[in-house]
Homo-oligomer: A and B are copies of this chain.
Amino acid sequence: MNNTDNFKYGGREAPIGVFDSGVGGLTVAREIMRNLPSEKIVYFGDTARLPYGNKSKETIIRYSRQIVRFLIKQDVKAIVIACNTASAFALDAVSREFDIPVIGVIHAGAEVAASATKNHRIGVIGTLGTIGSGIHEHYLHILDPEIMVIGKACPLFVPLVEEGWLDDPVTETVARRYLDPLKEKDIDTLILGCTHYPLLRKLIGRVMGSHVQLVNPAYETALQLKKLLGERNMLSTSAGTEEFPYRFFVSDLADEFRKFANSILPYDVEMTQKVNLEEKEDE
């Protein structure tokens, strides 16, 4: 299947499309805002269908394809998959089906971790879906087959972050239980393989100890995007012509999204539009 002939993609002044299953990808949007301040962003959070972490590959590909089509209709020039599960399951499929540049958080994180490790022992934490997919190991082994990858699913981290218990004794106890097995494996690098986890960075760093380097794929993705746009001569040159160059779309519950967005972004997000991607309504 190839749908690309139906679309024209945005030029260099067009926005970046960023999507996630919900609010977590805002940590990636935030890094793009910080590191590419001239770029416009169209963000889509699939809040009606989150979380992606416990859904099948087939379902995630179907959802991602719908979202990519929506973003292309918003005239974006490149797409960032800010969701680890969607990067793991759908990056290859959507890259094949659409000829717009698509980058995913997993590959960016893997590249930096592979350069950072000294002892070739890298830990990865994420949702059940991400860890079960083995996708970090897949990319890390392409970069260096000698690397040993130790994955650990941490299903309670996302609800703990969403509860706001970021630096809390309960979260620390849970973190120790999840992370102690990784410490015993003598890793020197740990990939924060879920978009919510950078918000637990301080606590995770304390539990792991200073000899373990934490890799934040949100930050690395922003740098990779900058490099890609630079190479293609696609970096925006129209800085500051729009008052608020960021647009936010969700598939459900705009209010809760806005609350979380305002808690982590340096801007006041007032407008969030709700859209329904299921193409045929059953009313």
Residues of B within 8 A of A56 (CB): 252-253
Ranked nearest first, the 6 interchain pairs of A and B with the lowest CB-CB distance are A280-B280, A159-B159, A56-B253, A279-B282, A59-B252, A56-B252
Q: Give per-residue flags for A158-199: 1 if the beta carbon is below 8 A from chain B beta carbons, else 0.
A: 011011000001100110010000000000000000000000
A245 within 8 A of B: no
Stretch of A47-55, A134-142, A213-221, A233-241 at the chain-chain interface: A47-55
Who on chain B is nearest to A279 by CB?
Answer: B282
Residues of B within 8 A of A159 (CB): 155-156, 159
Number of copies: 2
Residues of B within 8 A of A279 (CB): 280, 282
Q: Are B156 and A163 in contact (CB under 8 A)?
A: yes
Having A47-B54, A62-B281, A155-B162, one finds 18 other A-B pairs with CB under 8 Å, namely A1-B283, A47-B55, A48-B49, A55-B253, A59-B252, A62-B282, A65-B282, A66-B282, A156-B156, A156-B159, A156-B163, A159-B159, A170-B170, A170-B174, A170-B177, A278-B278, A279-B280, A279-B282
Residues of B within 8 A of A268 (CB): none
> For window 26-61 of chain A, which residues contact chain B by CB distance below 8 Å?
47-51, 54-56, 59
> For window 3-41 of chain A, which residues contact chain B by CB distance below 8 Å?
none
A47 to chain B, nearest CB (A): 8
Question: Which one of B51, B54, B170, B253 contacts A253 once the chains associate, using CB atoms below 8 Å?
Answer: B54
A245 to chain B, nearest CB (A): 28
Who on chain B is nearest to A62 by CB?
Answer: B282
Residues of B within 8 A of A173 (CB): 169-170, 173
